[in-house]
Structure 1
């Protein structure tokens, strides 16, 4: 196990990485962000100077402080992914929200230890929020304040607020049918929040998030430590732990809600 002292030091590093990332991103939000389309014939896939600049800044700080650690990032690929400690980075998750000027994009940072995510953050610097999860628990850090995060009880889908980024754009046909079944059973569904919805599950305002097989590891790994520390649960659509390569994900505050959703997702589970 990682010692409590080491966890505390890594948490402080994680908060520092969020500051470094925010410094690179915020001057470009609702400004000239240098939009490019890296999708080509596959369809619109935006990237901005904020995506690239923030990841470069995070990597530079890691190289200065923990040069022995590995890194996996959306923009610049893998660097020693076999190391004992490996950082997984998505500098601007929700680039479409970013270019639309909507403050629901986030910076996702997680840390693997011996292949398993153990520490993570979901940062929204425009709102001044860092949702941090570790073996010491999960908390929201905002300004000089910090408060513990806890999921809320939700005993079934009929009581649940659920979320997904964009089922029309990202779900394949079988996944869309499964999502429609879950949505029909839920009280309320909200779309377009990307990983900010994960943080809202940890904060106790959303009950279930369902995302597709299009997700990469950097899209989803930050959810696992954050939700574990807040009392929630993260699985794939078959109820298994998420793997190192991304894929379908179900994030729930209350396991009872997840257990009702999984049979509705089962036919499309990978």
Structure 2
């Protein structure tokens, strides 16, 4: 497991070199079918990540944000979002990260077992990483979720919530906002780093995809937290929503998202 993690970190650092070269520079921006931006940096980063990983693990498959799927039915598949937060990258502010996760596919089950989330331009650089059974770290230091057990003491972050806001659950989300101690909207990688390191207590989010949160799922679980879809289903390749907590608040928050309409198609994050 450690070898998988070490190689994922090496791949993230390879992408970081490319990110630093392009950040705040001039580059062309194209738009995909869903109107989300993509740059030459996104593509170069994903190629660099794949090069590192495929050299170490030639039998592994890939599911990448920019380059698509390759041997996606392999026992081990790497999930890659080279620049999660391209809009931030393009506009020159540091709320973006490289997300790399490893999925173990046994045929009967799929399990995320390694996660690296690297935000090289944020606050001097912030890397969170974890592997199953090895705990979670932030910039090399062990991290754990907070011990908060009461809603009136909890800090809640709302991420992308467009679909949630249009759902039957929205009135109860408003009630939840009035019950917690503090409400924030950190978004992207950052509120997951905060949750895993004990600085906020829960996250509610819609309008994302698995590549946005696969690595963060491993990191949060290894830090002592829990994460599912809003309806309680396990995180999987078709995940579009998240309820994540410090591992102590789930039972208190779940009733407020119980009316989430799981038949609604949330757009990609």
Give the TM-score range, shorter chain.
0.7 to 0.9
Relative distance call for 1:82 and 1:268 in structure 2 (3 A) is same
Secondary structure of the corresponding residue to residue 2 of structure 2: helix
Counterpart in the other structure of 1:3:
none
- Kept in 1, the 8 Å contact 2:160–2:208? The answer is no
Offset at residue 269 of structure 1 (A): 4.8
Q: How does 1:122-137 map to 2 (within 5 A)?
A: 122-126=117-121, 127-134=124-131, 135-137=133-135
* Larger helix percent: 1
Deviations 1:58-98 (CA, angstroms, capped at 9, x unpaired) = 11222222111000011111111111111001111122222
Instruction: Give the number of equivalent residue pairs.
Output: 254
**TM-score in terms of structure 1 length:** 0.87
Relative distance call for 1:73 and 1:159 in structure 2 (3 A) is same
Relative distance call for 1:237 and 1:166 in structure 2 (3 A) is closer
CA distance in 2, matches of 1:36, 1:171: 28
CA distance in 1, matches of 2:201, 2:244: 8
CA distance in 1, matches of 2:18, 2:41: 6
Secondary structure of the corresponding residue to residue 238 of structure 2: coil
Q: 1:140 aligns with which of 116, 138, 141?
A: 138
Q: How does 1:100-115 map to 2 (within 5 A)?
A: 100-114=91-105, 115=110
Relative distance call for 1:34 and 1:177 in structure 2 (3 A) is farther
Q: 1:118 aligns with which of 106, 113, 118?
A: 113
Q: 1:251 aligns with which of 240, 244, 247?
A: 244
Q: How does 1:41-190 map to 2 (within 5 A)?
A: 44-114=35-105, 115-126=110-121, 127-134=124-131, 135-141=133-139, 146-168=140-162, 171=164, 173-174=166-167, 176-190=170-184
Relative distance call for 1:19 and 1:248 in structure 2 (3 A) is same
- Kept in 2, the 8 Å contact 1:217–1:247? The answer is yes
CA distance in 1, matches of 2:170, 2:30: 28
Offset at residue 202 of structure 1 (A): 0.6
- Kept in 2, the 8 Å contact 1:93–1:108? The answer is yes
CA distance in 2, matches of 1:185, 1:51: 40
Offset at residue 187 of structure 1 (A): 2.1
Offset at residue 128 of structure 1 (A): 2.3
CA distance in 1, matches of 2:155, 2:41: 31
- Kept in 2, the 8 Å contact 1:218–1:246? The answer is no
**TM-score in terms of structure 2 length:** 0.87
CA distance in 2, matches of 1:265, 1:217: 20
Secondary structure of the corresponding residue to residue 99 of structure 1: helix
- Kept in 1, the 8 Å contact 2:229–2:239? The answer is no
Offset at residue 192 of structure 1 (A): 4.6
Structure 2: tracts of 5 or more residues without a match: 263-269
**CA RMSD of the aligned region, Å?**
1.9
Offset at residue 156 of structure 1 (A): 2.5
